[in-house]
Copies of this chain bind each other. A is one copy, B any other.
């Protein structure tokens, strides 16, 4: 039975890192007889340039038909000033998330032992770090209505957005997080601002309600400002963190940066059946696009996550992860993770090295 994989290179360094990941997927496809069919489509700024839309109908249809999706990155200064807010690269990404109902975003922050020095934090604070942030991805203030910019009486303009969650949205992301915690170290920290925001009072209440279904998981609550502090102070206190879309955006980036090697971190966005879109945690880095400086490993590791979670191919996923570990052991480094005594390689050399290690 063949599996239909949609590759969405996107903008900036997206095409380069997806190209390397494609090489890796082609090799495991053959070696493990996975029956993957790899197709590509446009999204983001490159789709705006080609079609006028950040998420062309064709791309959306292909994404719906696919068994899994691998995305590079979207966005860049070229499109940032577009006055029509609907015609921005990010709308392509947000459109995919909602249209496919990819509400469960898993963002691991893991410190690779070979890269321990890359962190700006002291080694004892981050060594062995392994946190999973579960971020709600299709609700909250990102999608809440009403939203916009309007004129008040007297011609004064005001901008407004709506932060909204209903019980069901909270419950389904809560279950993803409790399940993830159950499969890990059984500690779940729910992050909210329940001392100020009513929407997160409901969030906290539903998390408490779910606790009774997962008596083996230890649930705690933390205000978002404190969570940002605790990530810097003592990140290893966390196992799984669950939070809404906006707080999750901020905290997962902070957590990723604790490792010092955001170029290494994959992510998964899943729907209720486990179908998913996989992408690196980092962005499109337009400043280094096309220069062979980008680190393809986060995207390659995202492909491994894809094989494991959406395609049930744990063996092939393991093989990719082992190959990545091997190239790190060999001392190969793209510029973002370079340190003394290591060998600097280009994006393509890194991809080739992973292929060779397979």
Chain A interfacial positions (CB closer than 8 Å to B): 75, 80, 85, 88, 90, 94, 120-122, 125, 141-142, 144, 147-149, 152, 156-168, 193, 195-203, 224-226, 228-229, 231-234, 246-247, 249-254, 256-258, 260, 262, 283
Q: What chain B residues lie within 8 Å of A224 (beta carbons)?
A: 249-250
26 contacts between A and B (CB under 8 A): A85-B198, A120-B121, A120-B122, A141-B141, A147-B197, A148-B198, A149-B201, A157-B166, A158-B164, A158-B166, A158-B199, A159-B165, A159-B199, A159-B201, A160-B163, A160-B198, A160-B199, A161-B199, A193-B246, A224-B249, A225-B249, A228-B254, A228-B257, A232-B232, A232-B257, A247-B250
CA distance A256 to B226 in the complex (A): 11
Further contacts, 12 of them, CB under 8 A, given A156-B166, A160-B163:
A80-B195, A85-B198, A88-B195, A141-B141, A147-B198, A160-B198, A193-B246, A225-B249, A225-B253, A228-B250, A229-B256, A232-B254
Does B149 lie within 8 Å of A163, measured CB to CB? no
Asked if B142 contacts A196 (CB within 8 A), the reply is: yes
> What CA separation (Å) do A75 and B195 show in the bound complex?
9
CB-defined contacts of A157 to chain B, threshold 8 Å: 166-167, 202
When chains A and B are docked, how far (Å) is the Cα of A122 from the Cα of B200? Answer: 35
Which B-chain residue is minimally distant from A235 (CB atoms)? B120
For A85, give its contact among B164, B193, B201 (CB under 8 Å): B201
B-chain residues with CB within 8 Å of residue A247 when the two chains form the complex: 250
B202 touches A229 (CB 8 A): no
Asked if A152 meets B125 with Cβ closer than 8 Å, knowing A85-B198, A228-B228, A254-B254, the reply is no
Which residues does chain B contribute within 8 Å of A90, judged by CB atoms?
195-196
Provide the residues of chain B in CB contact with A201, threshold 8 Å: 85, 149, 159
